[in-house]
Chains A and B, each alone.
Chain A
Amino acid sequence: DAGITQSPRHKVTETGTPVTLRCHQTENHRYMYWYRQDPGHGLRLIHYSYGVKDTDKGEVSDGYSVSRSKTEDFLLTLESATSSQTSVYFCAISESRGQSTEAFFGQGTRLTVV
């Protein structure tokens, strides 16, 4: 299994509070991603990173920010949580070398905004 750890695994927070989710990898992969999974929507890309301090928006980036100060860590921050951000969040990593194409996913973080 790829070395990806998401923390926390579960969180309940109140509307309007900031929340930070952490993704830590031990694979030294270049690319890191944050997705959210919602019924009827599948996996939607929030933000991704193609290197330290290099990030870009995905399909559903409004209300989220990210930071990557080290290769191994990719943080997702909800500046002011809303109920629409209740979801399961997945981090993924990938490497572009050679024939490798797949991304590897973490176990997910279930976030509930009340």
Chain B
Amino acid sequence: DQQVKQNSPSLSVQEGRISILNCDYTNSMFDYFLWYKKYPAEGPTFLISISSIKDKNEDGRFTVFLNKSAKHLSLHIVPSQPGDSAVYFCAAIGKSGTYKYIFGTGTRLKVLA
């Protein structure tokens, strides 16, 4: 039973355009959601997070949107750059519970120059 799902295994976007990565979750107890970026042969690195009490969080070119009623979040990257090419994982955690990070299966983003 996958609690966090990323249904698009891959995405290609032209440099300068917007990249939109999607994530769905099933567990209503999650209260924080995070996005991580992973390059080959490296560990995942934290990008941005959002609390369940908010619907948007922005950090530079990265914006995360949360739709609690739909149990859906998305990461927007504007403008996309070739260096953004990586695998992106969304994750969820219930801070008031067991503090376990549950990850999705990842989306491989390729930004074309």
The 8 A CB mask of B77-113 against A (1 = contact, 0 = none) is 0000000000001010101001111111110000000
- B94 CB → nearest A CB, Å: 11
* Assembled-state Cα–Cα distance A92/B43 (Å): 9
A50 adjacent to chain B (CB < 8 Å): yes
Q: A31-B99, A33-B101, A48-B100 are in contact. Are A101 and B89 (CB under 8 A)?
A: no
Interface size on A, residues (CB 8 A): 27
Query: Of B14-22, B44-52, B59-67, B68-76, which stretch is located at the interface?
Result: B44-52
Contact of A45 among B6, B49, B100 (CB under 8 A): B100
A64 at the B interface (CB under 8 A): no
Total cross-chain contacts (CB, 8 A) = 62
Give the size of the chain B interface in residues (CB under 8 angstroms).
26
For the complex formed, measure the closest distance between the CB of A44 and the CB atoms of chain B, giving whole angstroms.
7
A42 adjacent to B32 (CB under 8 Å) = no
Cα(A101)–Cα(B45), bound, Å: 13
A residues adjacent to B (C-beta < 8 A): 4, 31, 33, 35, 40-45, 48, 50, 56, 58-59, 90, 92, 94, 96, 101-108
**Besides A45-B100, A50-B99, 4 new A-B residue pairs in contact (Cβ under 8 A), listed by A number:** A31-B99, A101-B51, A101-B95, A104-B46
Q: Give the A-binding residues of B (Cβ under 8 A).
A: 6, 9, 32, 34, 36, 41-46, 49, 51, 89, 91, 93, 95, 98-106
